[in-house]
Structure 1
Amino acid sequence: MAIDVTALRAHFPSLDHGLAFFDGPGGTQTPRPVADAIAATLTGPLSNRGAVSPSELNAERAVAEFRAAYADLLHMPASGIVHGRSATQLTYDFSRHLAKGWNPGDEIVLSRLDHDSNVRPWIQAAERAGVTVRWIEIDPATTELDLDSYERALSPRTRLVAVTAASNVLGTKPPVRRIADRAHEVGALVYVDGVHYAAHHLVDVPALGADLFVCSPYKFLGPHCGVLAAAPELLGTLVPDKLLPSPDTVPERFEFGTLPYEILAGATAAVDFLAAMDPGTGVSRRERLRHSLVSLHAYELTLRRRLEEGLGSFGDRVTLHSKAQDRTPTLLMTLEDRDARDAQRNLVERGVLAPAGSFYAHEPFTALKLEDPALRVGLAPYNTAEEVDRLLDGLSAFLDTDRQVVRL
């Protein structure tokens, strides 16, 4: 079996506008079942959580179903699922929680491959605690992490290693399990940014070796929020600052204020939508997710190869910076003697959305000496071969127009 893309696209009202969306790494389009779940929860009845009225029970149900859905998606216990406003907010929160146990002379290891949300919170927490920051460098020739530099960065004083499971600009997927195993050998915790990875692969947090894993449902068809997963036993060792009357149980003690029940319901619906794309014969939601996401990976790989072949035909007019052997269907490119923002505007006129910028990837851009802006093309489940061809045709016309202007 395979994903029926035509049937899948029918669930996305935004696609009716005729736009081809290649901006998925910044946030995907939303299917109607997700929007319906949000609306149904908001119109309730709905109250704050409780065990008496129907409206209170609706709120409790939204929370419980959210935790169960992300337990299935991430292969973790439901009591280890924490909701947050965003992955950035969760990382800032947990950098403060974890830093309470750090002391001057301790060290943390960060990655030059990462989005700034998995860099700056840790640097700022380290500065406050008097902790040294060490780095895993990027190999410019391959856009993969230099694991020799990782070995040099590790020491018995390492308390935390923070690394992405997939780069949001280059698509590079580093060997997270290998990195995690070495971190655990020196007694360090491993914090994994899975925001981009979770949009393209079935996540297995224990298999990755992550102690804490964060992702963002709006990157995989859901509403804007963040999710953190960790073993409840680990969460139980962390003591956040909190209001005195608020719950002290795990995971509620990390969720400040009233939860957005409608957003939780939408995030749950996104997981169910993913599981239904190509569920196979799976009985459990986890089994349906596995089958669907294997099919999604195969489909996106086909589109990526079509896109790469087309880009290759442009010769040296397009430089593709996504070079890693193992990577997601996200491509970063620069155009010879052209501003990527001009390309973005030109493509928009053709109904093709491919954004230009540096995408909060300060460390990769600096390490690889990339100029801002670059053009990023990211594939999502609703993209088609015809849309890939539209993108290529648009780039070709843009580059050819430039050549005609130069000749004149």
Structure 2
Amino acid sequence: MTYDITALRSQFPALSAGIAHFDGPGGTQTPEPVIRAIADALSHPLSNRGSTAPGERNAETIVTDTRQAVADLLGAQPPGIVFGRSATELTYGMSRTLAKTWSPGDEVVVTRLDHDANIRPWVQAAALAGAMVRWAEFDPATGELTADDIRAVLSERTRLVAVTAASNLIGTRPPVTAIIQLAHEAGALTYVDGVHHTAHSLVDLERLGADFYVCSPYKFLGPHHGVLAARPELLETLRPDKLLPSTDAVPERFELGTLPYEFLAGTRAAVDFLAGLDPSAAGSRRERLVAAFAALEEHEHVLRTRIDKGLAALDGVTVHSRAADRTPTVLMTFERHSTVDAYGFLAERGVHAPSGSFYAVEASRHLGLGDTGGLRIGLAPYTSAEDVDRLLAGLADFLGR
């Protein structure tokens, strides 16, 4: 297919402000169908879920339809889709639930590559259970986290391996399938942070083999909340803390309070929007998503190559995104300039490329960048070649001052 970037961009009202957005890893802009779906949900009768009143039925339909849409996106089962306020909240909840099954001397594996939301909940839960935390290191020179790095910290006492599917800081995609297999051979569960990965590659949870997979719709054109996917039969074995009168059914036993129905409606619309990226694709939603993500990955690969070549032509730039397999995400620092100054300089020119460690503080420190991090460039489906050229021109002007 031809990736019609002009037609695609026309569906994002925020782009009319003229800003070139490179902050996709932190959150994407919102297309009109998602905005409309949220408004439609709030414009019709809406109440707690049920089957009697119109508002009850509307809420029930939104939840049911969105579980199916997210299951299609992730290659999961609808009864295994849990909704929460954020991926961080869901991970904290699951860490407390799983820690009930740990004993002193048990071990939990976390990695230096991860966002802190897939580190600190496990470190803190392990401390409460008397379990030991073992750290898997990545190579700061290459940005690679390998299966051998995980194997080195596994033992017969490992109860959980928490690993990212893609680094939100430098884009590295570890060999997650191989890591999951190693963890399972050691008798451990796996918890995969897919927040950054889901925006760029189609997920197949069944093929991946992860026990738990978490993501955030606002990273793939949807509204702000979190999603956790797992096998329903695994969720059935877990006993989270919950209110006495709340249902014990799966997946609802993991969902605290009333769900944000309007945001779920927006998430369903975001999945359908992604499925329509290739207008020529036909078939089921899942089949259309396969075609759409193939087109998206090609579009982002072309733009990332353009960025890589442009940065290579600039003096005094150090690129820290070096892994062979990575998302279209680039972290950089400068020999003689502050990345915070670059962030401000670009912002004044209508280019949004933020600076920081973006909650991947362990990765930033391991790279030798402390808590400061660097300037991060991240692509989204609506990023254009013109955006990239504006970014590169802005960086050239900044470095040439």
Shift of 1:126: 0.2
Is 2:285 the partner of 1:269? no
Other-structure match for 2:347: 348
Give the aligned partner of residue 36 of structure 2: 36
Cα distance in 2 for partners of 1:279, 1:238 equals: 42
Q: CA deviation at 1:314?
A: 0.7
Give the conservation status (yes or no) of the 8 Å contact 1:81–1:230: yes
Aligned to 2:383: 383
Partner of 2:151: 151
- Partner of 1:162: helix, strand, or coil? strand
Task: Give runs of aligned pairs for residues 166-245 of structure 1, distance below 5 A.
Answer: 166-245=166-245
In structure 2, the residue matched to 1:133 is 133
CA apart distance, 1:280: 3.5
Q: Tell me which amino acid in the other structure corresponds to 1:367.
A: H
Structure 1 residue 62: Cα displacement: 0.6
Q: Give the Cα separation in 2 of the matches to 1:382 and 1:281.
A: 19
1:144 partner SS: coil
Unaligned runs of 5+ in 2: none
TM-score by length of 2: 0.98
- Total equivalences in the alignment: 400
Give matches, 1:30-109, under 5 Å: 30-109=30-109
Residue 364 in structure 1 maps to residue 332 in structure 2? no
Do 1:136 and 1:146's aligned partners in 2 also have CA atoms closer than 8 Å? Answer: no
Structure 1 pair 279–163 and aligned structure 2 pair: CA distance change class (3 A): farther
Deviating more after overlay: 145-154 vs 266-275: 145-154
Could you tell me whether the CA contact under 8 Å between 2:147 and 2:175 is conserved in 1?
no
Under a length normalisation based on structure 1, what TM-score does the superposition of the two structures give?
0.97
Aligned residues of 1:280 and 1:292 also touching (Cα < 8 A): no
The Cα of 1:378 is off from its aligned counterpart by 0.2
Residues 347-367 of structure 1: CA deviation (Å, up to 9, x unaligned): 011100000011001111111
The equivalent of 1:331 in structure 2 is 330
Query: What CA deviation, in whole Å up to 9, does each residue of 1:317-341 have, x standing for no partner?
Result: 1100000000000000001121111
Alpha-carbon distance in 2 for matches of 1:301, 1:213: 25
Q: 1:16 to 1:236 in 2, by over 3 A?
A: same
Aligned to 1:394: 394
Shift of 1:281: 3.2
Structure 1 residue 282: Cα displacement: 2.6
Task: Specify the alignment match of 1:118 in structure 2.
Answer: 118
SS in 1 for 2:152: helix
Contact 1:223–1:266 (CA under 8 A) maintained in structure 2: yes
Cα deviations across residues 124-158 of structure 1 (Å, max 9, x unaligned)?
00000000111111112210114433222101110
Distance (Å, rounded) in 1 between the aligned partners of 2:336 and 2:90: 40
SS in 2 for 1:143: coil
Say which SS state the counterpart of residue 391 (structure 2) adopts: helix
Q: Aligned partners of 1:296, 1:349: CA distance in 2, in Å?
A: 29
Cα deviation for residue 279 of structure 1 reads 4.6
Looking at structure 2, the residues matched to 280 and 73 of structure 1 have their Cα atoms a distance apart, in angstroms, of 19
Deviations 1:7-33 (A, max 9, x none): 110110000010000000000000011
Q: How far is the alpha carbon of 1:45 from its aligned partner?
A: 1.1
| 1:159-205 alpha-carbon deviations (Å, 9 max, x no partner) | 00000000001000000000000000011000000000000000111
Q: Helix, strand or coil: the match of 2:383?
A: coil
Kindly indicate whether the alpha-carbon contact (under 8 Å) linking 1:279 and 1:291 is maintained by their aligned counterparts in 2.
no
Alpha carbons 1:339, 1:373 under 8 Å: kept: no
Q: Determine helix, strand or coil for the equivalent of 2:242.
A: coil
Match for residue 405 of structure 1?
none
